Amino acid sequence: MVTVERREFTRIPFERPANICLGKRCWPTQVQDLSLKGALITQPPEWPARIGEYCQLHLALDDVGDDIRLSCTLVGTSSGHLHLLVNEMDVESASRLRRLVELNLGNPELLERNLGNLIDSQLSR
């Protein structure tokens, strides 16, 4: 089931282990949902970051090295979760994330709207 809220980017439920890194230190976490522009993850114990800090989210998709690496900003916390805004990603990560969202949305028009919003947000920087 797709969670659609009043957001520019549709969030897809995608529960999967990941690592959240702050500088050279990393913590295991669990992704709860993803979009082309953000992620909701479980807050690791003893997580030191504050809202506004930059971090990296590393999400392994399989055992052969396919992963998604996202440079993020911590934009909020709630009930043991961290809300991340995606700032940057490499081309391979962008392609994998796009495909993941496409497969889970099941609606090409919704995907095109999300991609248009992503392009607009990048151009307005």
The strand pairing partners of 34, in sequence order, are 12, 39
Tokens coding 70:
């996202």
| Predicted pLDDT of residue 2 | 47
pTM for the full model? Answer: 0.78
3-state secondary structure of 10: coil
| Predicted pLDDT of residue 123 | 47
At the topology level of CATH, where does 12-123 sit? Thrombin, subunit H (2.40.10)
Question: Tens digit of pLDDT for each residue in 83-125?
Answer: 999 999 999 998 888 787 777 766 556 555 655 555 455 445 5
Res. 23: pLDDT tops 60? yes
User: pLDDT over 90 for what percent of the chain?
Assistant: 49
| Predicted pLDDT of residue 11 | 82
Which sequence spans correspond to the domains of the chain?
12-123
More confident residue, 71 or 65: 71
